[in-house]
Amino acid sequence: MPLGVSLTLYDGSTPLAEVDGIKAFWWDYADPVDTDWPIGRADNLATDSSGNLKIDLTWVTQLQEYDYGFLLLWREGTSYQQDRIFAGRVPVTTVTSGQRMQRNSGFVRPPDWPDIWDGESEIEKAEMVIGVWPQPTSGTGNRIAIKAQGAFTIDWGDGSTPENFASGATAEHIYDYANTNLVPCSEGYKTAKLVLTPQSGQSITLLDLSQRPSAVIANGNYYWANPILDFVGRFPSLTGMSIYLFHSSGASSLSLCRRFWLTDSNSFSVAFSDMFSLLDCVIVARNGVNTALSWFSDCYSLVIPPYISAFVSNASFQYAFIRCRSLKVVPKWPWATVASDLYSCFSGSGITRAEIDIGTKAISIARLFYDCRQLRRVSLNAPNATSVSYLFTDCLSLTTIDQLNLPNPLPADLTELFNDCRALKVLPELNYTSGHTTTNMFTRGQLIRAKFPGMASTFSIANQQRTHVLQAG
């Protein structure tokens, strides 16, 4: 049964029955502030005859049942006095027949793309939108290559005859921009709808979208190789995929893909690195995702984190979201269970708020928020972290640390721990003792208060734009 929220709306003591046109926004935080990006939205919800409103948060929330998130509802009236607004904390519960909220990822399908399925029916297949561009010489580019384990059939979507392929074979095709069966797009290219299905009695266990087309043109480039713009697939027996961008001059692989939804699989292991255009990602893996190393690194367009149905415990999250410049939200994942390493996990990302609890795990959190220049608010519980150097380096906008539970005493290397935190004025208590490496620990800061119980007397910290006297033990 899906997770969602259920509540009854009132005007005073009168239920708001059969009211439509309700806009909604959802946060996985119970106390969002003005910089927090909502991860879910809906534009036309309606109450029933009793004023009840049920919202299905499938593929939106990462909260567990009975956790609290925040819901904002608004319905425009004939004047501002007639507007209806609800805003408050709401527990996540199981719901039936709820109205679906969408992921607030910024992904909007161009209206002239061919329609593809939503991945929710009990069918095993993948549907993709393929982009086709003009080429200097007919037949030189717009190539695609797909490999799969399990015999499969592909309808290329350009009027050509569907083709059957043996298990383990690589299927290749060339799209011709002059083909009149292709659908023109207002963005300046044409499109085709590719459909991949297993043959009768077969199941797809592995899918490889990173294959290089075999033909090479004269200058050694692969023109627009694998130009998949939209992917929705469901393969219940799938245990692995490969979609990693291959770096050959002129190759694009999945760097053009804006949406990637895998709505059912057995288990999942794949890196989405360098998918520069990716806006929305959903991964449903019944037995868990088992790797997160460099997972979404350099996915510059990603605004909200992917929805992940389950993890295998103790995966490495090193560099998982490094340089995701547009990313606004740190996911509400069970970090204490799933992570074996958070080194540089969000470095260089656009996150504005972070709440991470790793419990009692002894793992690295060094560079976790390095160069997160829009990060404003943090709550971090890591009492057994093994390394913390460069943790908040260049967090220029950081103003509020709600919780900072680090080891007592601190790890030995505190290099650049708060370097260039220019907006931070107050530090929570830290048990600093002698013998630490403190190179540039507070350089270019503006601190006015900090407490270090491990030191015996008041001391000064220089190498800032200002020098302040801070309280020691």
DSSP-derived letter for residue 455 is S
Whole domain around residue 200: which residue ranges? 108-285
Residue 137 pLDDT: 60
Residue 41 pLDDT level (bands cut at 50, 70, 90): very high
CA atoms of 119 and 105, how far apart (whole Å):
18
- Check if the beta carbon of residue 347 is closer than 8 Å to that of residue 330: no
Pair 71, 134 in one domain: no
Pair 185, 79 in one domain: no
Q: Is the pLDDT of residue 300 over 60?
A: yes
Pair 93, 123 in one domain: no
Q: Is residue 468 part of a domain?
A: no
Residue 267 pLDDT: 81
Pair 96, 155 in one domain: no
How many helices and strands, by DSSP H and E, does the chain display? 1, 31
Q: Are strands 190-198 and 152-155 parallel, antiparallel or unpaired?
A: antiparallel
Q: Is residue 215 part of a domain?
A: yes
Q: Is residue 181 part of a domain?
A: yes
Pair 153, 96 in one domain: no
Residues 6+ apart with CB under 8 A from 209: 146, 226, 228, 231, 241, 242, 243, 253, 254
Q: Is residue 155 part of a domain?
A: yes
CA atoms of 115 and 109, how far apart (whole Å):
9
Q: Is the pLDDT of residue 464 over 70?
A: no
What is the b/e burial string over 247-268, where b = at least 16 CB atoms within 10 angstroms of the residue's CB?
Answer: eeeebbbbbbbbbbbbbbbbeb
DSSP 247-308: --TT--GGGG--EEEE---S-B----TT-TT--EEEE--TT-B---TTTTTT-TT--SPPEE
Pair 114, 170 in one domain: yes
What is the b/e burial string over 307-342, where b = at least 16 CB atoms within 10 angstroms of the residue's CB?
Answer: bbbebbeebbbbbbbbbbeebbbbbbbebbebbebb
| 166 vs 452, higher pLDDT | 166
CA atoms of 73 and 88, how far apart (whole Å):
9
Look at the chain and report how many structural domains it folds into: 2
State percent of the chain over pLDDT 90: 67
Q: What is the mean pLDDT of the chain?
A: 88
Task: Indicate the residue among 285, 306, 322 that finishes a domain.
Answer: 285
Pair 82, 124 in one domain: no
Closest CA to 87 of 36, 35, 14, 27: 27
Q: Which of 41-55, 272-286, 420-434 has the lowest mean pLDDT?
A: 420-434
Residue 249 pLDDT level (bands cut at 50, 70, 90): very low
CA atoms of 414 and 154, how far apart (whole Å):
55
Residue 80 pLDDT: 86
Residue range 406-441, pLDDT digits in tens: 998 889 898 999 999 999 988 887 776 666 788 888
Q: Which of 176-185, 235-244, 396-405, 449-458 has the lowest mean pLDDT?
A: 449-458
Pair 233, 129 in one domain: yes
Residue 281 pLDDT level (bands cut at 50, 70, 90): very high
Q: Which of 22-31, 249-258, 286-295, 333-342 has the lowest mean pLDDT?
A: 249-258
- Check if the beta carbon of residue 52 is closer than 8 Å to that of residue 8: yes
Pair 192, 70 in one domain: no
Q: Is residue 412 part of a domain?
A: no
Residue range 50-91, pLDDT digits in tens: 999 999 999 999 999 999 999 999 999 888 888 889 999 999
Pair 208, 93 in one domain: no
Mean predicted confidence (pLDDT) in 141-169? 95
CA atoms of 196 and 250, how far apart (whole Å):
26
Copy the structure tokens of residue 32.
């969002």
Pair 156, 259 in one domain: yes
Q: What is the number of residues in the chain?
A: 473
Q: Is the pLDDT of residue 248 over 70?
A: no
Q: What is the dihedral of CA 423, 427, 430, 433, to 10 degrees?
A: 60
Q: Is residue 49 part of a domain?
A: yes
Pair 22, 151 in one domain: no
Q: Is residue 363 part of a domain?
A: no
Other Cβ atoms closer than 10 A to 188: 9
Residue 181 pLDDT level (bands cut at 50, 70, 90): very high
Task: Indicate the residue among 50, 83, 103 that finishes a domain.
Answer: 103
Q: Which of 320-324, 355-359, 368-372, 455-459 has the lowest mean pLDDT?
A: 455-459
Task: Indicate the residue among 257, 285, 313 that finishes a domain.
Answer: 285
Q: Is residue 396 part of a domain?
A: no
pTM for the whole thing? 0.90
Copy the structure tokens of residue 82.
């007639």
